[in-house]
Structure 1
Amino acid sequence: MILHISHNDLDGVTCGVLTKRFLKDVDHTFCNYNEIDLILEEVSLRKYDQILITDMSPSKRGLKEILGEIEVLVIDHHETSDWLTELTPTVHDITKCATMLTYEWLEGQGIDVSEYKDLVECVNDYDMWHLKRKESLQMNMLFMKLGVERYLERFSRRGFNGFTEDEALIVELETERRDKYLYAAGKSIEMLKDAQGMDIALVYAEEYNSELGNYIIQEIGVDYVVLINMQRRKVSLRSRKDVDVRTIAEMNGGGGHKNAAGFSLDFEFNTMDFLKNAGILDES
């Protein structure tokens, strides 16, 4: 029996799609970056033969809690997980999304996963923010509307060779709503200077973080965007190509990529205190 722990975004859940479709006896848990250590602490190791972790990584403390007790395989593409290769079997490549790495790992096990090639390439195009395929943004829209469980069930039954009629309607309606949302959210931003003198845009938003961050950077020309989701107690960071926001996320217990990262918030939250404590604004 395998316990598959993965991130709860499009990339992480599609890793789950592949293991649900092609591996036997798999339990799935999808979570945020800050939840994985707690899951590892509470898991009943006697129930499983292996733990597979994709699109995220535990802390050294969290991993050492279970090393020697159970086999652990990590498949991840974040730069912050390169240290894992010293402790446990790890598939690590920052040039591909975790879904693509999981697909290739399954291929390496002699499994014919070719029917999922289009879905995997679509997710890779979105998660690595290449956006060369029209379906990439649309796939993420569908994921957000279906939710984790419905998306998992739908795509673990069959691969992707175009949206069904119902899915295409969902995407069309959501595209119209997204465009209105981006326009409205873009008008409610607050402009600030960070502690290093860079221009930042602060905005409260509950969805479409990548699209909204990209929209604000292109339309306004800021160095990076701080997107605060009060409902989910989460901060997302998006930046210009030459600005690294991953370090801000890591300072606050999160992670991600150079230009797209995030972390969770405490329940006691004050915007200005948060910006200072996160090292974004000067303490003065």
Structure 2
Amino acid sequence: MKFYHISHTDLDGYACQLLTKEFFKTGFYINANYGSEVKQSIEAVLQEIKKNLDSEILFLITDLNLTVGESKDLNKEITALNEAGANIKLQLLDHHATGQKSANMYEWYLLDTTRCATKIVYDYLFDEYEGFNCQENAWIKPLVDAINAVDIWLDHEVENFEFGKVLMRLVSRASEINNILFADENRAFRISLLKSAAAYIKEKDGHIKLDDEIHFLKKEYLKCNGSNDTIDNLSAKYLVHSLENRKEDLTITYRGHKGLLTYTLGSISIPANAFLKANDEYDFFIDISRRGNVSLRADGKIDVGILAEKLAKGGGHPNASGAKFMDFVETINYDDVKNFIQERLKRCE
């Protein structure tokens, strides 16, 4: 069976994916916030599903409520594929009351406001499949209970609630790995932190101990070669290593010069300089934000101040400059960004 899973971008959403990764082991994962991200994520999953229509498929959406229009469009798409011979099971598991209209319309839309999405997924895996081995996976249920306590605000469950509060901050501030450019790596980072956190639940004052250890859990994950350093330096090294692993996919060109394009990276001076020095074949580095703000860096081989002016009437120094695209449309799809920038660079030639 092929497994596809879209989930929210908070503690509850990532915990849902922790459970399905533990159970199904492999799959295609995306995280989405509300608005355009939901539609873009559904379209991305449908594109992947259409590559595997000869397989049995489970398409799961968790901790996200769909509008009536989104539900209608998705139901129509899945129905058409199944009528054409596909074997796709669509299932949405959520707890947000705002999805009630959609839940009333479709059997695949399970809505339960009494449990968080993580708890719903946990129970679903037992109801529909064989569930988890209670001995081997004894750490899972206490983690689920703590997330349930904080996500639906059961503050009378003091121990679980306090631990859940720490978990919430643990996930929301796990920003050391970019969550768009390296979505899979960021997801793995957050899920790993949650699994490590589970070891503290049964300890006395476990929430305080976990709070004390968050910094060290992050550092341990980010060590590329095992050597210790500040978390800022470890993050920078991890980032440069990740960029080098994907540099062919991130490459853009301008007048025979090779550049690296990132999206929503932010604060690029240190990583851009480190990357350019370690990869002599690259002459410039560009990062663009969700709102179209552009940062450009170079290492003496090209004047990015002139390039910024040509791209979007920006400017700056030969090795550091900036600009803003007024017509840039926010997206969660890196390829859309790359096509946009490469086209603008061609216009500058």
Q: 1:50 aligns with which of 51, 55, 58?
A: 58
Q: 1:74 aligns with which of 86, 89, 92?
A: 92
The percentage of counterpart residues that share the same residue type is 26
- d(CA) in 2 for partners of 1:11, 1:164: 18
Structure 1 regions of 5+ residues with no counterpart? 174-230, 234-266, 269-284
Q: Which residue of 1 aligns with 2:192?
A: 153
- d(CA) in 1 for partners of 2:58, 2:104: 17
Encode CA deviations 1:196-238: one digit per residue, 9 max, x unaligned.
xxxxxxxxxxxxxxxxxxxxxxxxxxxxxxxxxxx989xxxxx
- d(CA) in 1 for partners of 2:193, 2:10: 16
Q: Which residue of 2 aligns with 1:278?
A: none
Matching of residue 169 in structure 1 with residue 193 in structure 2: no
Larger-Rg structure: 2
- d(CA) in 2 for partners of 1:172, 1:39: 31
Matching of residue 96 in structure 1 with residue 115 in structure 2: yes
- d(CA) in 1 for partners of 2:125, 2:65: 19
- What SS class does the counterpart of residue 103 from structure 1 fall into? helix
Q: Which residue of 1 aligns with 2:163?
A: 135
- The change in CA–CA distance for 1:139 and 1:156 in structure 2 (over 3 A counts) is closer
Q: Which amino acid aligns with 2:97?
A: E
Shift of 1:121: 0.9
Encode CA deviations 1:91-130: one digit per residue, 9 max, x unaligned.
3210110001001111222212643111111111111122
Shift of 1:60: 2.8
Per the normalisation by structure 2, the TM-score is: 0.45
Higher RCO structure, 1 or 2 (CA under 8 Å, sep 6+): 1
Shift of 1:24: 3.4
Q: Which residue of 2 aligns with 1:116?
A: 140
Structure 2 regions of 5+ residues with no counterpart? 82-87, 176-185, 217-288, 292-327, 330-349
8 Å CA contact 1:6, 1:12 repeated in 2: yes
8 Å CA contact 1:20, 1:156 repeated in 2: no
Q: Which residue of 1 aligns with 2:332?
A: none
8 Å CA contact 1:21, 1:156 repeated in 2: no
Number of matched pairs: 178
- d(CA) in 2 for partners of 1:232, 1:136: 30
- d(CA) in 2 for partners of 1:137, 1:164: 8
- d(CA) in 2 for partners of 1:160, 1:104: 22
8 Å CA contact 1:41, 1:65 repeated in 2: no
**RMSD of equivalent CA atoms:** 3.2
Per the normalisation by structure 1, the TM-score is: 0.54
Q: 1:107 aligns with which of 111, 123, 126?
A: 126
Q: Which residue of 2 aligns with 1:84?
A: 103
Shift of 1:164: 9.8
- What SS class does the counterpart of residue 33 from structure 1 fall into? coil
Q: Which residue of 2 aligns with 1:190?
A: none
Q: 2:39 aligns with which of 13, 32, 37?
A: 37
- d(CA) in 1 for partners of 2:9, 2:107: 23
Q: Which amino acid aligns with 1:144?
A: S
8 Å CA contact 1:91, 1:101 repeated in 2: no
- The change in CA–CA distance for 1:157 and 1:134 in structure 2 (over 3 A counts) is closer
Which deviates more, 116-125 or 156-165?
156-165
Encode CA deviations 1:163-217: one digit per residue, 9 max, x unaligned.
69984324599xxxxxxxxxxxxxxxxxxxxxxxxxxxxxxxxxxxxxxxxxxxx
- What SS class does the counterpart of residue 51 from structure 1 fall into? strand
- The change in CA–CA distance for 1:119 and 1:128 in structure 2 (over 3 A counts) is same
- d(CA) in 1 for partners of 2:74, 2:164: 33
